[in-house]
Amino acid sequence: MRQTVILRVNPEEPEIDKIRVAADAIRRGGLVAFPTETVYGLGADALSQKAVAQIYTAKKRPLDNPIIVHVASREEVCKLSESIPERANRLIDNFWPGPLTLVLKASKTVPRATTGGLDTVAIRMPSHTVALALIRESKVPIAAPSANLSGRPSPTTAEHVRQDLGGRIDVILDAGPTMVGVESTVLDLTVDPPQVLRPGGVPYEELGKILGRIELHPVAIADRRISVAQVRSPGMKHRHYAPRAQLMIVEGSLEAIIPKVQELTTRFLKKGKKVGILATDESESHYSADVVKSLGSRNDLATTARNLFRLLREFDTEKVDIIIAEGIATEGLGLAVMNRLRKASSFNTVRAD
């Protein structure tokens, strides 16, 4: 067991003494959980094989799943990557700092632990003031996956991090809940056309406006199981968040979804199951079940993204047997939400038209 120090920091103007405590831990090869605009990350010195190796142990993460490197300046990208294509510069101009991760050819300075043994490296510049301050004070790029135990929903609060990793890491910087709520978009620039490997905080449509032709990898859509041959990054093949409860998604028009969800709920309640419904503001009042929670309004997909992981954790805490989730639009941030839900359900979708 390690002693985990939890430091509350001001999200807009982080106290430099607290940032220094965390940065010292990074420089000594330790582990620091810190807020980004997407989710909390579990950081270590990205250039130290030994430090990054500890991330895998603390998270119980499979060793071949590569980790995103977080930077605070463009110069750091030049050191981490062999060549920066012109397309990368355009994306950096438009979306950094922010929730966009670029996969580029890795330089020799990036240890194997960080790349998961691939010849590419995933890099992003987060926009959260605390994250940027930590990277700058540490004076090294920071490798950071989401700060959850492998297989749990990503943490959007410091309390989620404490639940999963308390006693396993050195420092947690607590700056309150994160804004975006789903992880960054991962875009592979080593292929032509560039491919979205994971939908996230920067919508696919926005990338298209800058780049023209891009593709969505089938894993990003996640509407069906894909074969191992289609896997582009080892991370794709690993089991993702799966709730304790069975999760099913009902997709279709809202008019068709509501009676279908209630019909399924009644059926499971009759079997003596504890049923949770993941509804939306527009439908919430139509349901009766053991637990009904709303993701937010269908007209405000950013809010649904912000709430998603917290609500999935809450269903786990309430120990429901079955979660019936409404499908939402796969536009904008909705695609990231549906990707997480579909994976969590193991592609268990019911059509409701």
Residue 184 interacting entry, from Mg ion, ligand TXA, none, C-beta within 5 to 8 Å by type: ligand TXA
Two tokens at 74? Answer: 């463009």
Candidate list 21, 62, 65, 318; residue touching ligand TXA; CB under 6 A: 65
Asked whether the CA dihedral 242, 247, 252, 253 is positive or negative, the reply is: negative
- Residue 306 touching ligand TXA (CB under 6 A): no
CA distance 327 to 136: 40
Residues between 212 and 251 that touch Mg ion (CB under 5 A): none
- Residue 157 touching Mg ion (CB under 5 A): no
- Residue 150 touching ligand TXA (CB under 6 A): no
- Residue 111 touching ligand TXA (CB under 6 A): no
CA distance 169 to 202: 30
- Residue 129 touching ligand TXA (CB under 6 A): no
Which residue number, 68 or 102, has a Cβ lying nearer to Mg ion? 68
Beta carbon of residue 154, minimum distance to Mg ion (angstroms, whole number): 5
- Residue 146 touching Mg ion (CB under 5 A): yes
- Residue 207 touching ligand TXA (CB under 6 A): no
Beta carbon of residue 233, minimum distance to Mg ion (angstroms, whole number): 12
Candidate list 98, 111, 141, 145; residue touching ligand TXA; CB under 6 A: 145
- Helix crossing, 204-211 with 86-95: angle to 10°? 130
Task: Measure the N-to-C terminal CA separation of the chain; round to a whole number of Å.
Answer: 52
Which residue number, 48 or 146, has a Cβ lying nearer to Mg ion? 146
Residue 349 interacting entry, from Mg ion, ligand TXA, none, C-beta within 5 to 8 Å by type: none
- How many helices (H) and strands (E) the chain has is answered by 12, 16
- Residue 156 touching Mg ion (CB under 5 A): no
Instruction: List strand residue ranges (DSSP E) for the chain, in order.
Output: 5-8, 32-35, 40-45, 69-70, 100-105, 120-124, 142-143, 171-174, 185-188, 195-198, 215-216, 246-251, 275-279, 291-294, 322-326, 349-351
Candidate list 58, 100, 122, 301; residue touching ligand TXA; CB under 6 A: 122
DSSP 229: G
Residues between 209 and 238 that touch ligand TXA (CB under 6 A): 233, 235
Would you state the torsion angle of the CA atoms of residues 304, 244, 248, 265, taken in this order, to the nearest 10 degrees? -100
Residues making contact with Mg ion (CB under 5 A): 146
Residues making contact with ligand TXA (CB under 6 A): 36, 38-39, 41, 65-68, 99, 101, 103, 115, 118, 120-122, 126, 144-146, 183-184, 186, 197-198, 233, 235
